[in-house]
């Protein structure tokens, strides 16, 4: 069985509602950017409308032929059965602390007496975006999006945390780790959004020091299993696929996701609304909990509201001619210096992730350049250590610009 693949619970496959879109058309089309603003009544439709959520998923999965798409289409928002029958995960969580780690090391069970729930608005349409955004910030920091045996094991071995990039803050808590009770009532350690996407304690920034591959390798070695593949991930990279191939990618920033047209490095999810983000987070949660529970949907809507607003909107100075001529076709200034998809074979990059059998689209997503100076390493695989190296390698197509043009680009990029 491929890594992370488990049998589905009472699920029957449904054929995609639309025929497969031609890849060439999908890559050349100019999709409308996702909106920060929810449409009137959209929250209620997402929270209560199973058919609505199904349509959102089908619109998002523009390559329904891919195994990743098929797995979601066979289980999510079906007319009957599927993941809607899963129990709702308890919202009670508590920060994971060094004291908790010491308790685990002594063989003691984790406690939940200090756990607390989330304050969820009862009527979503009467709650302003600010209310959901504030709740979403809590969800981002406190809701466990996944749980793994290796994480339970690592949590009780704080002497290994520096190797993995986990650190204890002044309050004695570990960013991104929480205690929670799973669907079977077992108190476990979970990883929140902030675990991967709050580098330097900035919500939305991919953590370049977090080495999940190393954490999993330490666990595998302790069990006498092979660790070679996991050791190749390196800090700031993770393989999110369920295939036997090894395709680690850089942990992405979440800035300006509200304006993005696609999610994932290969752009396998197409964004058309805030509901797209909510559905995406909901399916991530279910898969991260091994299809044993689903989240409270109001928390997913709140998370989508919070994440869609991440990113600076400060004014940008004059765009230099060299950027307009060489970069703006992909990194559109009107779209937070981001864009659509670019065919992988048109880029001077490793095409492996774009060609991954599970979720490869043959293309790579064009990320936003806002805040790019603090986001090293670069490219989907983190293969370029800094901006000078990126430009000296001839990004995007291998043709290296003159030194004066590169210097002008660097000065501008450092202001974004």
Domain map of the chain by residue range?
85-308, 321-413
CA distance 236 to 147: 19
Q: Which tokens hold the place of 188? A: 């476990």
Query: What is the fold of 321-413?
Result: Cytochrome Bc1 Complex; Chain D, domain 2 (1.10.760)
pLDDT, residue 244, reads 62
Residue 186: cis peptide before it, omega within 30 degrees of 0? no
Question: Which distant-in-sequence residues (6+ apart) come within 8 Å of 405 by Cβ?
Answer: 322, 326
pLDDT, residue 135, reads 94
pLDDT in tens, the chain (416 residues): 233 322 233 322 333 333 333 333 333 333 344 445 788 889 999 999 999 999 999 999 999 999 999 999 999 999 999 999 999 999 899 999 999 999 999 999 999 999 999 988 766 666 778 889 999 999 999 999 999 999 999 999 999 999 999 988 888 999 999 999 999 999 999 999 999 999 999 999 999 999 999 999 999 999 998 877 777 788 999 887 766 667 788 999 999 988 889 999 999 999 999 999 999 999 999 999 999 999 999 999 999 999 999 987 778 889 999 999 999 999 999 888 999 999 999 999 999 999 999 999 999 999 999 989 888 889 998 889 999 999 999 999 999 999 999 999 999 999 99
Alpha helices in 224-359, H assignment, sequence order = 228-231, 274-288, 297-308, 321-326
DSSP symbol at 373 = G
CA distance 63 to 20: 6
The strand pairing partners of 177, in sequence order, are: 191
Q: Which tokens hold the place of 98? A: 């060094």
CA dihedral 372, 338, 54, 135 (to 10 degrees): 40
The interaxial angle of helices 274-288 and 297-308, nearest 10 deg, is: 120
Is 386 in a helix, a strand, or coil? Answer: coil
Is 411 in a helix, a strand, or coil? Answer: helix
pLDDT, residue 381, reads 87
């Amino acid at each position: 069985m491929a890594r992370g693949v488990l049998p589905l619970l009472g699920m029957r496959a449904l054929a995609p509602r639309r025929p497969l879109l031609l890849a060439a058309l999908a890559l050349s089309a100019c999709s409308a950017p996702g909106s920060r603003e929810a449409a009137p009544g959209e929250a209620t439709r997402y929270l209560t409308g199973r058919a609505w959520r199904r349509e959102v998923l089908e619109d998002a999965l523009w390559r329904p032929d891919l195994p990743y798409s098929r797995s979601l289409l066979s289980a999510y928002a079906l007319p009957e059965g599927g993941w809607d029958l899963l129990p709702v995960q308890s919202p009670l969580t508590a920060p994971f602390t060094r004291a908790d780690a010491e308790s685990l090391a002594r063989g003691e069970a984790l406690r939940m007496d200090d756990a607390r729930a989330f304050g969820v608005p009862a009527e979503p349409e009467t709650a302003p975006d600010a209310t959901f955004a504030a709740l979403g910030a809590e969800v981002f920091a406190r809701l466990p999006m996944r749980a793994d045996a290796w994480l339970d094991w690592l949590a009780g071995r704080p002497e290994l945390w520096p190797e993995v990039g986990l650190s204890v803050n002044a309050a004695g808590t570990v960013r991104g780790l929480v205690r929670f009770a799973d669907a079977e009532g077992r108190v476990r350690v979970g990883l929140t959004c902030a675990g991967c996407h709050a580098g330097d304690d900035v919500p939305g920034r991919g953590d370049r020091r977090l080495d999940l591959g190393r954490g999993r390798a330490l666990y595998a070695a302790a069990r006498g299993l092979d660790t070679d593949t996991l050791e190749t991930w390196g800090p700031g990279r993770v393989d999110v696929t369920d295939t036997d191939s090894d395709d680690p990618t850089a942990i992405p920033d979440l800035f300006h996701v509200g304006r993005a047209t696609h999610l994932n490095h290969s752009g396998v999810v197409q964004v058309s609304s805030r509901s797209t983000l909510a559905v995406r987070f909901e399916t991530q949660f279910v898969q991260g909990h091994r299809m044993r529970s689903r989240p409270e949907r109001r928390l997913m809507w709140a998370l989508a509201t919070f994440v869609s607003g991440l990113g600076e909107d400060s004014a940008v100075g004059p765009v230099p001619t060299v950027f307009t001529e060489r970069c703006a076709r992909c990194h559109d200034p009107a779209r937070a210096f981001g864009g659509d998809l670019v065919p992988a074979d048109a880029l001077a990059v490793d095409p492996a992730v774009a060609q991954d059998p599970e979720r490869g689209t043959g293309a790579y997503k064009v990320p936003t350049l806002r805040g790019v100076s603090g986001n090293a390493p670069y490219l989907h695989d983190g293969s370029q250590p800094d901006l000078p190296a990126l430009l000296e390698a001839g990004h995007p197509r291998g043709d290296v610009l003159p030194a004066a043009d590169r210097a002008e680009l660097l000065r501008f990029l450092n202001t974004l």
